[in-house]
Amino acid sequence: MKRFYSLMFVSLLLLAAGCSGLSNETGNESTPADNDSQQESPEKHEQEGESNEAGEKGKKKQNESKGSNNKKDDNDNKEKDTADKPASGKGDEVVTVDEPHALTVVVNKSRKLPEDFEPNDLVVPDVPFPFDEFHEKKQMRLEAAEALEELFKGAKQDGVELVAASGYRSYERQKLIYEDNVKKNGEEHANQFSAKPGTSEHQTGLAMDVTSAAAAFKLDQDFIETKEGQWLADHGHEYGFIIRYPEGKSDITGYAYEPWHLRYVGKEPAAEIHQQEETLEEFFGLYP
């Protein structure tokens, strides 16, 4: 009996030991599962990293696409702007006239005379000047000078006393006048009232500035308010002269109104220009 109880006691001990080992195995099995669960975190971060990288690539691609579109738009706008702009330099081109000796030669800011041009038939017309000494500005070409003498005679018969102020100017003198005007009044003002050398009608020998004692021998726009200025506007064409820079035509002639500036073109052209109220540029279709 005693042996029986001893065997029972040993069996119970062995049974207890076996249960304890099973419990420890079960506890150890939970750790790898937890570790696997924890190991998901780096994989998740890696996937998120790929997702972020893909997102960054996507954003970069979108930005590149936007940048590309913006560049395309900029290029399109530049092409449009370029298409809208006139060809550069075309409006500023100055040509040298082919026939500077022609009585109807058109000289302006875009049509200049040869630098060495000088008429070979310059004379001093027999008309009053406000100074007695000889000066090159007293001169005109022969045909224009004779026509001016007739005009002065006609004015005198109508009780109008005119005075000649300034005719021919050489290239060198015009250069001095223009530069002095710029110095005193600025380039913008000078370009309205004074020609750059080579582009002055006075160099043709076909122009004469006319004034009067009533205008205090000045050359200004108030001259038209005098009877002398009005007579010139009404009768100048009868002698082959036009008011070269009429009022309201500065966008065509390039110069402000000058009621004192006579230009000889011949009786027939002068009559047509006066009747049609045109400028010399309009008469010949030479628009700026």
* Catalytic annotation, residues: 258
DSSP string, the chain: -HHHHHHHHHHHHHHHHHHHHHHHHHHHHHHHHHHHHHHHHHHHHHHHHHHHHHHHHHHHHHHHHHHHHHHHHHHHHHHHHHHHSPPTTTTT--EE-S-TT-TT---BTTEE--TT---S-EE--SS--S--S--GGG-EEHHHHHHHHHHHHHHHHTT---EEEE----HHHHHHHHHHHHHHH-HHHHHHHSPPTTS-GGGGT-EEEEE-GGGTT--SGGGGGSHHHHHHHHHGGGGTEEEEE-TT-HHHHSS--EEEEEEE--HHHHHHHHHHT--HHHHHT---
Return the closest-CA partner of residue 167 out of 124, 108, 103.
124
Alpha carbons 190 and 196: distance in angstroms, whole number: 9
CB atoms within 10 A of CB 262: 28
Angle at 174 between CA 221 and CA 188, to 5 degrees: 55
- Helix pair 142-157, 227-235: axis angle to 10 deg: 120
